[in-house]
Amino acid sequence: MKFSELVEYLSQLEATSKRLEMTRILGDLFKHAEADDMSAIVYLTQERLAPNYEAIEFGMGEALIAQAVAQATNTPLAEVKKAYKEKGDYGIVVEELSKAKSKKLQVEEVFEKLREIATTSGEGTVEKRVGLLADLLKQSSPREARYLLRVPMGRLRLGVGDVTVLDGLSWSETGDKSLRPALERGYNITSDLGLVATTFKKGGIKAVNKLKISVGRPIRMELAERAKSADEIITRMGECALEPKVDGFRVQAHKDGDTVRLFSRNLEETTPMFPDVADAVRQQVKAHKAILEGEAIAFDPDTGDFLPFQETSQRRRKYGIDEMTQSHPLKLLAFDVLWIDGQDVTGVPYKERHEKLGALISEGPGIQLIEQIYVNEPKAIDEFFTAKIEAGLEGIMAKRPDSTYQAGARNFNWMKFKRAYQGHLRDTVDVVVIGYLRGRGQRAKFGIGALLCAVYDAKNDRFRSVAKVGSGLTELEWAAYREKLDAIALPHKHARVDSNMTPDVWIEPKLVMEVQADEITRSQIHATGMYDDEAGYALRFPRVVNPDREDKSPEDATTEQEIMAMFEKQSRTEVKE
Ligand code: AMP
One digit per residue, the tens of pLDDT, for the chain of length 577 reads 999 999 999 999 988 878 899 999 999 999 999 999 999 999 999 888 999 898 887 778 889 999 999 999 999 999 999 999 998 889 999 999 998 877 789 999 999 999 999 998 888 888 999 999 999 999 999 999 999 988 887 777 777 878 899 999 999 999 999 999 999 999 999 999 999 999 999 999 999 999 999 999 999 999 888 787 899 999 999 999 999 999 889 999 999 999 999 999 878 899 999 999 999 999 999 999 999 999 999 988 888 788 877 788 889 888 889 999 998 999 999 999 999 999 999 999 999 999 999 999 999 999 999 999 999 999 999 999 988 887 778 789 999 999 999 999 888 999 988 765 445 566 789 999 999 999 877 777 888 999 999 999 888 888 999 999 998 888 888 999 999 999 899 888 888 899 989 999 999 999 999 999 988 888 888 888 877 667 789 998 899 988 888 777 888 899 998 898 888 777 655 443 3
Q: Which residues of 50-75 are buried (b: 16+ CB within 10 A; e: fewer)?
A: bbbbbeeebebeeebbbbbbbbbbeb
Q: Give the residue, out of 221, 223, 416, with the most ligand 1 atoms within 8 A of its beta carbon, to mutate for a pocket test.
A: 416
> Is the domain of 443 the same as that of 551?
yes
Residue 323 forms part of a structural domain? yes
Q: In this structure, how many other beta carbons lie within 10 angstroms of the beta carbon of residue 458?
A: 13
DSSP, collapsed to helix, strand or coil, labels residue 2 as strand
The confidence score (pLDDT) of residue 426 equals: 67
Q: Identify the CA nearest to 563 among candidates 514, 500, 519, 512.
A: 519
d(CA 479, CA 555): 26
Exactly one of 245, 255, 331, 399 is catalytic; name it.
245
> Is the domain of 376 the same as that of 522?
no
Atom 11 in ligand 1: which residue has the minimum CA distance?
250
* Atom number, ligand 1, closest to the C-alpha of residue 248: 12
Residue 518 forms part of a structural domain? yes
Among residues 365, 396, 418, which one ends one of the domains?
418
The confidence score (pLDDT) of residue 532 equals: 64
d(CA 207, CA 198): 10
Q: Which residues pair with 514 in a beta bridge?
A: 430, 546
The confidence score (pLDDT) of residue 281 equals: 98
Atom 4 in ligand 1: which residue has the minimum CA distance?
224
* Atom number, ligand 1, closest to the C-alpha of residue 418: 3
> Is the domain of 304 the same as that of 267?
yes
Residue 431 DSSP label = E
Tell me, using a 6 A CB cutoff, whether residue 397 lines ligand 1.
yes
DSSP, collapsed to helix, strand or coil, labels residue 391 as coil
Query: How many angstroms does the Cα of residue 227 sit away from the middle of ligand 1?
Result: 13
The confidence score (pLDDT) of residue 306 equals: 82
Query: How many angstroms does the Cα of residue 220 sit away from the middle of ligand 1?
Result: 14
The confidence score (pLDDT) of residue 378 equals: 94
Among residues 368, 385, 418, which one ends one of the domains?
418
Residue 437 forms part of a structural domain? yes
Q: Which residues pair with 431 in a beta bridge?
A: 513
DSSP, collapsed to helix, strand or coil, labels residue 438 as coil
Residue 509 forms part of a structural domain? yes
Atom 18 in ligand 1: which residue has the minimum CA distance?
245
Query: How many angstroms does the Cα of residue 526 sit away from the middle of ligand 1?
Result: 28
Number of residues assigned to the chain = 577
Concerning whether 245 is annotated as a catalytic residue, the answer is: yes
Query: How many angstroms does the Cα of residue 468 sit away from the middle of ligand 1?
Result: 26
Tell me, using a 6 A CB cutoff, whether residue 332 lines ligand 1.
no
Q: What is the phi/psi pair of residue 508, to 5°?
A: -65, 130
Atom 12 in ligand 1: which residue has the minimum CA distance?
250
Residue 535 forms part of a structural domain? yes
Residue 462, domain CATH: 2.40.50.140
> Is the domain of 263 the same as that of 390?
yes
Q: Identify the CA nearest to 328 among candidates 306, 299, 305, 308.
A: 299
The confidence score (pLDDT) of residue 421 equals: 45
> Beta strand pairing status for 330-340 and 289-298?
antiparallel
The confidence score (pLDDT) of residue 533 equals: 62
d(CA 457, CA 48): 62
* Atom number, ligand 1, closest to the C-alpha of residue 416: 5
Query: How many angstroms does the Cα of residue 246 sit away from the middle of ligand 1?
Result: 7
The residues near 449 (Cβ < 8 Å, ≥ 6 apart) are 300, 302, 303, 436, 437, 438, 439, 440, 441, 443, 470
Tell me, using a 6 A CB cutoff, whether residue 226 lines ligand 1.
no
> Is the domain of 391 the same as that of 318?
yes
CB-based contact 459:480 (threshold 8 Å)? no
Tell me, using a 6 A CB cutoff, whether residue 250 lines ligand 1.
yes
Q: Which residues of 236-255 are buried (b: 16+ CB within 10 A; e: fewer)?
A: ebeebbbbbbbbbbbbbbbb
d(CA 276, CA 147): 42
Query: How many angstroms does the Cα of residue 490 sit away from the middle of ligand 1?
Result: 44
For residue 180, is it left (φ>0), alpha (ψ between -120 and 50) or beta?
A: alpha
> Is the domain of 410 the same as that of 449?
no
d(CA 84, CA 577): 47
The residues near 571 (Cβ < 8 Å, ≥ 6 apart) are none
* Atom number, ligand 1, closest to the C-alpha of residue 370: 19
Tell me, using a 6 A CB cutoff, whether residue 246 lines ligand 1.
yes
> Is the domain of 247 the same as that of 354?
yes
Atom 14 in ligand 1: which residue has the minimum CA distance?
245
* Atom number, ligand 1, closest to the C-alpha of residue 249: 12
The residues near 406 (Cβ < 8 Å, ≥ 6 apart) are 222, 346, 413
Q: Give the residue, out of 222, 243, 245, with the most ligand 1 atoms within 8 A of its beta carbon, to mutate for a pocket test.
A: 245
Tell me, using a 6 A CB cutoff, whether residue 265 lines ligand 1.
yes
* Atom number, ligand 1, closest to the C-alpha of residue 399: 20
CB-based contact 519:439 (threshold 8 Å)? no
> Is the domain of 396 the same as that of 441?
no
For residue 281, is it left (φ>0), alpha (ψ between -120 and 50) or beta?
A: alpha
Residue 10 forms part of a structural domain? no
The confidence score (pLDDT) of residue 576 equals: 37
Number of domains in the chain: 2
d(CA 25, CA 188): 24
Tell me, using a 6 A CB cutoff, whether residue 243 lines ligand 1.
yes
What's the domain range around 495? 429-576
d(CA 531, CA 535): 8
Q: What is the phi/psi pair of residue 544, to 5°?
A: -70, 130
Among residues 357, 390, 418, which one ends one of the domains?
418
Helices marked H in 373-440 — which ranges?
Answer: 378-390
> Is the domain of 261 the same as that of 408?
yes
Query: How many angstroms does the Cα of residue 394 sit away from the middle of ligand 1?
Result: 10
Q: Taking the alpha carbons of 237, 242, 245, 246 in that order, is the dihedral positive or negative?
A: negative
Residue 88 forms part of a structural domain? no
Residue 332 forms part of a structural domain? yes
Query: How many angstroms does the Cα of residue 214 sit away from the middle of ligand 1?
Result: 23
Query: How many angstroms does the Cα of residue 245 sit away from the middle of ligand 1?
Result: 6
> Beta strand pairing status for 330-340 and 367-369?
parallel
> Is the domain of 347 the same as that of 322?
yes
Residue 314, domain CATH: 3.30.470.30
State the chain's maximal CA–CA distance in angstroms. Answer: 92
> Is the domain of 343 the same as that of 390?
yes
> Is the domain of 241 the same as that of 318?
yes
Tell me, using a 6 A CB cutoff, whether residue 103 lines ligand 1.
no
Tell me, using a 6 A CB cutoff, whether residue 335 lines ligand 1.
yes
Tell me, using a 6 A CB cutoff, whether residue 433 lines ligand 1.
no
Atom 8 in ligand 1: which residue has the minimum CA distance?
245
Residue 44: which H helix or E strand, with range?
helix 38-45
